[in-house]
Each structure stands twice: as structure tokens, then as C-alpha cells.
Structure 1
């Protein structure tokens, strides 16, 4: 019985450090390979660059739309732009006419 008791005591003394090692290893694994870990940073950086490009494209589209809306301001509308929109939307373009879109 002495050897069995000695083994049980040794296992009890090693259980707490082993449990702590398992918990720390689990946290370290998530810190490296988890969804927000070190390995995911490359994906975040690529996503950031993609969103930055998308933002530049959207800002360009916004500038074009802002310019078109300024051309259609009722107080000082551009006559050519208004004529083009009215004729196109109402179907008043004759078959022999050529409409050159501004876009």
C-alpha cells in the first residue's frame, strides 16, 4: 500500500500544475490560431486594403453623382442635361437622332 499511496500523492501534487498548463496552453492556442489570433491578422489586413479600395471607388461615384445633381439644380439647371433626361425618359428621341450619354 505504501507504493500506491506514494503514486496517488504524486498524482495529486501534479494535477494542479497540469491543469494550469492545459488552461494556459488553451489560451495560447487561441491567441495564435483563434478567430482573432495572430494568424488572422493577415486576413484583417487584406480585408482592410479591400475596403480602402472600395471606399475610393464609392467616393468617386459620389463625386460623379454630386456633379450630376448640381447640373439638375432647379435654380440653375444645365439646359443640355435637362433636355437629355427629359427626352430619354419620355421617349421623345427620334430614330434618326444620336444620343451621346455623358457617363
Structure 2
């Protein structure tokens, strides 16, 4: 009858803990420094705030333009608005007017 006699290795019992530590270190590092980690989350939040600010500015500009278009529409044509736009785009004024640039 044959029996197998194993030599006890000192490093054999450390293999699984070393692999576990390496595995946890890899994923721990990437959970903080990775593209979708904590630092990536901070970058996404900064971009979101920046883009929300830009969106607010654009919405305000659009509302202003929509009001001006409503004043220039056929149903409610305002003479003052037409006169103001024509003077602005043609860069003209009457002889008895004072022009103040701001």
C-alpha cells in the first residue's frame, strides 16, 4: 500500500490570503480612484452643476427671445418693438435723438 507523504510548506498556507489581499486591494483602489469611483463621482457632480448653470442661462435667453418674438408676431405687432429692432440692426437714429451706448 502506497501512502503519499506531503511536505509542509510555509508559503503554501499563505497563498490564499495573499490572493485575497491582492484581490481586495485592486478593487479597493479602483473604487476610490477609478473612473466610476469616489473621485469620478466628484467630477460628475462638478460637471452636473456646471451644466445646470449653463442650462439656466440658456433657458433665460430662450424665454427672452420668445417674448420678443411674441411682440413681433402678426397678431400683436408692437410699433415700438419693430422700431427698436430696426434701429438696432440698421444702426440708425433720427437727427433729434441722443444715442447712449451701454
TM-score if structure 2 supplies the norm length? 0.66
SS of the counterpart of 1:76?
Answer: coil
RMSD: 2.8
Q: Structure 1 residues 88, 95: closer, same or farther in 2, change over 3 A?
A: farther
**For this pair of structures, how many residues does the alignment match?**
95
How far residue 82 of structure 1 moved from its aligned partner, in angstroms, is 0.9
Distance 1:91 1:47 in 2: 40
Unmatched 5+ stretches in structure 2: 1-6
More helix by share: 1
| TM-score normalised over the length of structure 1 | 0.65
Q: Give the aligned partner of residue 75 of structure 1.
A: 75
The CA deviation at 1:56 is 2.2
5+ long unaligned stretches in structure 1: none
Instruction: Classify 1:25/1:13 alpha carbon distance in 2 versus 1 (closer, same or farther; 3 Å).
Output: same
